[in-house]
Structure 1
Amino acid sequence: MNASKSATLSDDTAYESASAMTPLALRTAIRRGEHTGPTTGYASGYLQGNLAILPNSYADEFLQFCAKNSKSCPLIGMSEPGSPFIPALGKDLDIRTDLPGYRVFRGSADYTSVSDLTDIWRDDLVTFVLGCSFSFEAAITRGGVRLRHMDARRNVPMYVTNIQTAAAGRFHGPLVVSMRSFAASDAIRAILYSDRYRLAHGAPVHIGDPAQIGITDIMKPDFGNEPVIEEGDIPVFWACGVTPQMAIRNVMPEFAITHEPGLMLVTDVLAEAAEFSL
């Protein structure tokens, strides 16, 4: 993950300021290189999205993959071939510049991390924007439940599981989950709040023992930062929009782009639009 001038917010005042940013202000800061880190806690109340960009020849199959795996891949926006714009998500939004970090794949599991796609954009690319669990975090905190990774100014931890997604054509692979830990009473409330946001993954897919879903060491996530887990906490796992990255790696198209985990597209769509949407 890219180093960031803004990933660590040194005090509560700065953190509250980040939460109050408008999506446009945040995207502008990203375009200028002033924000290069995770978007968790920023522009509270607005829908955030994961990114998958593929050549048009793969678009139909990937769309089927999203339809078959709507829990991990809730589609909130899709571009026309070659267009870097999705007006329904933001009139000024530009896919090429408005995420803090991207991963560019060229026919292998290896990738290059970049902060701007302008020079490598192609006229056959189709962008898919998928809902993100960051979108329900504001509802959880508004309900009085603290999120440990946000309090620690960290990216949420993410793990590859032994749960397989439903295959669609060439696309297949394991489910990726994000984890947040809570005291028991808070876990129940967090689950109820998140279930309202079906376009942001909705309710969790697993609660409790991480080994049951193939996670051998919860302190060593595959993506994101090391978790903050207090004594007596219950780990709660949500489907994660990094899941398509695993499916794309299995297909290995000659060209593909995803977001850096935790570095999302922040849209102008209010998160309430994700309530009870499926």
Structure 2
Amino acid sequence: MTGIRTRFTSVISAFLFLTLATFGARAQETGGEFLADLHDFRINNYFAVDAFYSFSATGDTETLNRIVVAINKANDAMNSVIASTSGVLSADQIEGLNQSFDKYKDLMRSNINEVRDRGYPDLRLMADLADTASTMNATATELYSVAQQNSGAKADDRVESARSASVLMAQMMARYAARTHSSVSQTFQGATTEIPLDEQAEAFDQYLKNVNSGSPTGELKEILSDVSSKWQFIRSSYVNYNDNNVSFIIDRYSKGIIAGLTSAIELMNSSS
């Protein structure tokens, strides 16, 4: 028990240290790199929320480590956004997003400590975390659109559809985790204002169709075929989200889809 407690404390310490670290990110010179960092920021914040919902039910150290990894990746992306010299967003816009992120990290830390100290979550704190995460990611999405317009670069429709699909899948995954790990999930996952999961599944269908346009070949075709297969395997679980399904399979396949889309984006960018 002492060993587990020590590892738990060590992970929390790493979280506290790394998320408060000074900015050491590279300075970007292009709007394209800026957009990539803002995309990574959104994805990893959803990954952290997804992991927290699981952690809130289990208190598992390995799951806690997933939160830490995701938060630190989001932190790295935010540091890169701040250090960027691309000029596609104003200093005030970036600072506003960073302040929201700081609040989100503080709430995540408080929620983790609640589970650690009491053995179960505080629903009010969970609600605050979910609301803050939802608002922050909505702001990040709006700023992504603004940055895209200001970059002056012609957007690749397939790349943008793949990024939109990735963010949507990450959001759906986090919401599904909320439904799975709490009987009162609607209280803290934003269900009253967000699009229902079955409608989000239909939107994902369209994004995936757009990504597959243009008759992809070679490695890209193989990756997108794998993404489509994984999606068909779990799609009904998102459409019929009130049915009892094996949540860890939904989570694993959702992450596999996001990983596949990430690889597809890299291939499409390298060939453009």
TM-score by length of 1: 0.25
TM-score by length of 2: 0.25
Greater length-normalized contact order (CA 8 Å, ≥ 6 residues apart): 1
User: Which is higher, the Rg of structure 1 or of structure 2?
Assistant: 2
Kindly indicate which of the two structures has a greater share of residues assigned to helix.
Answer: 2
Kindly indicate which of the two structures has a greater share of residues assigned to strand.
Answer: 1
